[in-house]
Amino acid sequence: MPDGSLTGDVANAGRKAPDDPQSGDPARRILVIGYGNPGRRDDGLGPALAARFAALGLPGVTVESDYQLSIEHAQLAAQHDVVVFADAATDVAGDVPLYLRPVEPAP
């Protein structure tokens, strides 16, 4: 993504085509939550990514942005099938600018 655009697999992660007759399943409800402090520059990744997703206007995708996660975000997440949490991290190895990691509920 040298031009900074969100296309292809990143923009469609976890997404099925709306009411795809081949799948028999309705579209998934997707929530993107970007959190962090844009004023701290390096901590502004989450809100910047959320803004990019919001600008795409993807159907079935809800976008939220905040300084930190709160209990209200848990209620919102429960209303969606897929949730993407976007935040800055210090444990990114090498020249990789970002990574995706699945989060599973506790047993």
Least confident stretch, 4-8, 23-27, 44-48, 76-80: 4-8
pLDDT exceeding 70 applies to what percent of the chain?
Answer: 76
Angstrom distance (rounded) from CA 5 to CA 79: 28
Within 10 angstroms of residue 71's Cβ, the number of other Cβ atoms is 6
Q: Residue 69: what pLDDT?
A: 93
Mean pLDDT value across residues 68-82: 93
Instruction: Using CB atoms within 10 Å of the CB of residue 101, give its burial: 0 to 12 exposed, 13 to 18 middle, 19+ buried.
Output: exposed
8-18: pLDDT as tens digits: 334 444 444 44
19-30: pLDDT as tens digits: 444 455 567 899
> Helices H, strands E: what count in the chain?
3, 3
CA 69, 62, 13, 34 torsion: positive or negative?
negative
pLDDT at 101 over 60: yes
